[in-house]
Homo-oligomer: A and B are copies of this chain.
C-alpha cells in the first residue's frame, strides 16, 4: 500500500491495533459458539468485555483522534485507497464519537440481560418475560439514533450501521415492490399442480447418515474453492461464518439426520460468505479495507452461492448423481426434476430461517415494518405478539399458535440489533442483479450444469471479492452492473425460475 504522507501511514498503523483486537474478539466469538463449555459463559463474557473496552479506548484515544482529524483536513490530497480508508474510518468512528460511553456500556449490559431473558422466554414460550427487556432495548436504540443523527427518520441512523447510507425510504420502496410481486408469485405457485405441503423423500421416517452428510458438505466446499488451509469447517447449533483474518475464515453448519438439505444448503451459504473474505486483496490485510464491505453485499454472496448456484436447477442436474452416490438407498431412483423440486419447495412457513426463496423476503418485510414502527413509537412492544400474528396472516398466510414460533423466533432483537434485518433482502436483490451481469459475461448455466464453479469464483473475485471495503455498496453495484440497485432483477429471476418449476 502506498501512502501519500506520514500522518496517513501512522493512522493506519494505529488502526492496526484496533483491527488486531477485533480479530481476537472474532476468535473468542467463534470459540463461544463452537467450543465453549457451558459453565464458562460468564468467564468468557469478562474476556469479551475487556477486549471491547480496549477497542473503545483506542477509538477514543486522543492521538488517534488528532491523526484522524489531520488526515481528514487533507482529504483532497489522498490517493483512492486512502480516501476509501478514511471514509471507512470516519464511518466506524461515528459510533464512538457520537454515542456517549455510558450509553455504550448501558447498551452492552442491557443486551446481555436481554439475551438471557430471551432464551428463557423462548424456552417457556412466554413473551412477557422478554417484553420489559425488549422495551429497554428499543429505547436505547432510539437514544443511539438520536446521538448518531439523521435527516428523515431515526431508523435511518440504525440502518446505516449495517448498510452504509441505507434509508427507511429506500427500504419502503423496496419492500412494497417485493411484497406485491412475491405475493402474486406465491398465489400462482399455490395453485400449481406441483404444489405440495410435504415431501416423500425427507422427514421423520427417513435417515440420512451424518457421516455422509459431512462428506457431502466437504465435497461442496472443495467444488466451491473454499480454502481449508485458510479456514476451518465445523458444527454449531446455528450455522455461521467468522472472519478472523483473510487467512482464517471459519464456517460452521448444522445437521438434520432426517434431511440432507439443511446441512448442504447451510454449508454452501456460509462458504459463500467465506469465499468473499478469502478473496480480498492481500494488500488490504489489517487495514480498514480488509473485510467485506457491508452486510447486504456479504449476504448477496452467501445467497448467490446458496440459491443462484446451490438451488439452481442446472446445478442440481449436475449434483443429482453425487447425491445419489452419497445416499443410494434414499435417492438412487429419484429423477433430477424431483431433486430440483425437493431443493426448491415453496411453502409458507412460520420461521424466516426455514423459509424458501419466495417467502423469505416476506418474513423480512414484516420485520422491517415492525422495527420501523417500534423505533418511531407507532406501535407498542406490548402489542407485538398480536400484531405479529395479524401481519403473518396478511403477508405469508400462516399464523403461529405460539410466540416461540412467532415474535420470539429470532435472537437478534435481544442482541440489541435494530436495522439489520433489511440487509437480508438487500442481499437477495444484489445477488440477482450481480447474476444478471455475470450471465452477460459467462455461460453460467453451462458452467453449473457441468459443475465448473471455479470459473464462477474467478469472476466474483475479479469483480467483487478482491475489493474488500474499497467501494461502498452503491458504488460497487454501479461498477459491477452498470446501474443502481434495481429490485426488478430479483422479481424477474424468481418469477422465471419458479414459474418453470411450478408449471
Contact = CB atoms under 8 A, between A and B. Distances in A.
Contact of A54 (B54, B228, B244): B54
Interface of A: 17, 20-21, 23-24, 27-28, 31, 35-40, 42-44, 46-47, 50-51, 54, 227-232, 244-248, 250, 285-286
Given A24-B24, A24-B47, A31-B31, A37 B247 contact: yes
B50 A286 contact: no
A31 to B, nearest CB: 6
A42 B39 CA distance: 32
Contact of A37 (B39, B46, B51, B231): B231
A43 B229 contact: no
Nearest to A54: B54
A50 B247 contact: no
Given A23-B47, A27-B31, A37-B231, 18 more contacts: A20-B46, A24-B28, A24-B47, A24-B50, A27-B47, A31-B31, A37-B228, A37-B229, A38-B229, A39-B247, A39-B248, A40-B230, A40-B244, A40-B245, A40-B248, A43-B244, A44-B248, A54-B54
A248 B31 CA distance: 12
A152 B231 CA distance: 51
A170 to B, nearest CB: 37
30 contacts: A17-B50, A20-B47, A20-B50, A21-B50, A23-B43, A23-B47, A24-B24, A24-B47, A27-B28, A27-B47, A37-B228, A37-B230, A37-B231, A37-B232, A37-B247, A37-B248, A39-B227, A39-B229, A39-B230, A39-B248, A40-B230, A40-B244, A40-B248, A42-B247, A43-B244, A43-B245, A43-B248, A43-B285, A44-B248, A54-B54
Contacts of A46: 20, 286
Nearest to A51: B24
A51 B28 CA distance: 14
Copies in the complex: 2
A87 to B, nearest CB: 25
A43 B232 CA distance: 15
Contacts of A28: 24, 27
A21 B54 CA distance: 11
Q: Chain A binding site: helix, strand, loop or mixed by DSSP? A: helix
Nearest to A23: B47
Contacts of A47: 20, 23-24, 27
A452 to B, nearest CB: 25
A70 B467 CA distance: 54
Nearest to A285: B43
A19 B223 CA distance: 44
Nearest to A41: B247
A248 B248 CA distance: 23
Contacts of A20: 46-47, 50
Contacts of A42: 247
A20 B25 CA distance: 13
Interface centre among A21, A232, A248, A250 (most CB of B within 10 A): A248
A413 to B, nearest CB: 28
A14 B245 CA distance: 31
Contact of A43 (B17, B228, B231, B247): B247
Nearest to A48: B24
Contacts of A23: 43, 47
Contacts of A230: 37, 39-40
A28 B28 CA distance: 8
The 3 A-B residue pairs with the shortest CB-CB distance, nearest first, are A40-B248, A43-B245, A39-B247
Contacts of A227: 39
A280 to B, nearest CB: 13
Nearest to A53: B17
A502 B27 CA distance: 51
A468 to B, nearest CB: 15
Contact of A247 (B40, B228, B231, B244): B40
A354 B419 CA distance: 58
